[in-house]
């Protein structure tokens, strides 16, 4: 308390605008079109070999201890297959992309799109607390002491949040993935709102979301600097109608109603590596 008197007054009024975030697994979504017309004329033995090689790779990835992958059969024209990979580093994501490219099956796979991001937990609530406490103690934002304190806050949170930053691949039957931005319009601009106001809206957002806790698993990934939108949203559920209900309800929530802008939506049905042959040939092989 007494120390704040000795410090410059300005320090206590400056609150950095950026919320603290925690980063976990790197995430790559690959949307792939299958070249049915090139595949169909292959001899059965060629098909079997290609499927064995690719499903061997998928089996390994699906069971990987340190970040898993999942295969989805996509609905609609945006692709036939979607692969979702969680890995501790971009190097590993890059390696598995290359491994897939080197398979025989890759001859028949065409990327329709992809998305690179990293699992992100936004810490609005604890950010506000930490910034306020530091300001009250008269510690100037971005000073060495401030950075040390913030680093400690992040390290503590990261330890506590480890299971959410490095999750297992959800086992639900359906996935819904879409990228999104927060609006930066002339009238409405998320990035010019005071941090307290953004924290309030995010807290309301969390309350709506938590009502769906048992039915939907949500994984938010951040993609600023990595891909064309600011976030990627992955929802996993055993009933796809839950996606519609949750997303509809969220549209009325202030932060979505006023500030959300959406990219394309991708929906898929989960398939195990051992079902790849069935997907491509209509039978197990």
Q: Summarize as ranges the residues that interact with ligand 76R (CB under 6 A).
A: 122, 180, 202, 205-206, 209-210, 212-213, 216, 218, 220, 231, 233, 246-247, 250-251, 256, 260
CB nearer to ligand 76R: pick between 222 and 277 = 222
With b for 16 or more beta-carbon neighbours within 10 A and e for fewer, the 221-255 pattern comes to bbbeebbebbbbbbbbbeebebbeebbeebeebeb
CB 25 to ligand 76R: min, Å: 16
CB 202 to ligand 76R: min, Å: 5
CB 173 to ligand 76R: min, Å: 17
Q: Which residue is nearest to ligand 76R (CB)?
A: 209
Task: Find, among 30, 31, 165, 28, the residue nearest to 86 by Cα.
Answer: 28
Catalytic annotation, residues: 178
DSSP E strand boundaries for the chain: 21-34, 69-74, 81-87, 109-122, 174-182, 216-222, 231-237, 260-262, 266-271
CA distance 211 to 204: 11
Contact predicate 273/62, CB 8 Å: yes
CB 215 to ligand 76R: min, Å: 9
CB nearer to ligand 76R: pick between 134 and 216 = 216
CB nearer to ligand 76R: pick between 105 and 219 = 219
CB nearer to ligand 76R: pick between 148 and 184 = 184
CB 23 to ligand 76R: min, Å: 12
φ, ψ at 34 (rounded to 5°): -95, 130
Q: What is the DSSP string of 97-155?
A: HHHHHTSSGGGGEEEEEEEEEEEEEE-HHHHHHHHHHHHHTTPPTTSHHHHHHHHHHHH
CA distance 251 to 84: 26
CB nearer to ligand 76R: pick between 70 and 216 = 216
């Amino acid at each position: 308390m007494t120390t704040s008197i000795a410090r410059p007054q300005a320090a206590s009024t400056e609150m950095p605008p950026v919320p603290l975030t925690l980063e976990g697994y790197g995430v790559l979504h690959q949307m792939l079109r299958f070249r049915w017309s090139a595949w169909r004329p292959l001899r059965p033995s060629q098909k079997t070999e290609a499927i064995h090689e690719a499903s061997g790779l998928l089996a390994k990835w699906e069971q990987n201890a340190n970040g898993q992958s999942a295969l989805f059969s996509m609905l609609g024209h945006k692709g036939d297959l979607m692969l979702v990979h969680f890995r501790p580093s971009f190097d590993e994501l890059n390696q598995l992309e290359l491994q897939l490219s080197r398979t025989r099956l890759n001859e028949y796979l065409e990327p329709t799109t992809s998305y690179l991001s990293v699992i992100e937990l936004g810490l609005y609530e604890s950010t506000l607390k930490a910034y306020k406490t530091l300001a009250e103690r008269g510690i100037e934002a971005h000073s060495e002491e401030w950075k040390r304190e913030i680093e400690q806050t992040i390290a503590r949170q990261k330890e506590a949040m480890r299971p959410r930053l490095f999750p297992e691949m959800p086992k639900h039957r359906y996935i819904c993935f879409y990228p999104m931005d927060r609006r930066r319009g002339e009238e409405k601009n998320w990035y010019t709102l005071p941090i307290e106001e953004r924290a309030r809206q995010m807290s309301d957002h969390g309350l709506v979301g938590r009502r769906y806790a048992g039915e939907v698993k949500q994984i938010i990934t951040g993609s600023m600097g990595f891909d064309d939108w600011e976030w990627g949203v992955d929802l996993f559920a055993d009933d796809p109608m839950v996606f519609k209900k949750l997303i509809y309800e969220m549209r009325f929530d202030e932060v979505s109603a006023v500030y959300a802008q959406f990219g394309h939506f991708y929906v898929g049905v989960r398939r195990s590596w051992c079902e790849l042959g069935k997907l491509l040939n209509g039978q197990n092989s």
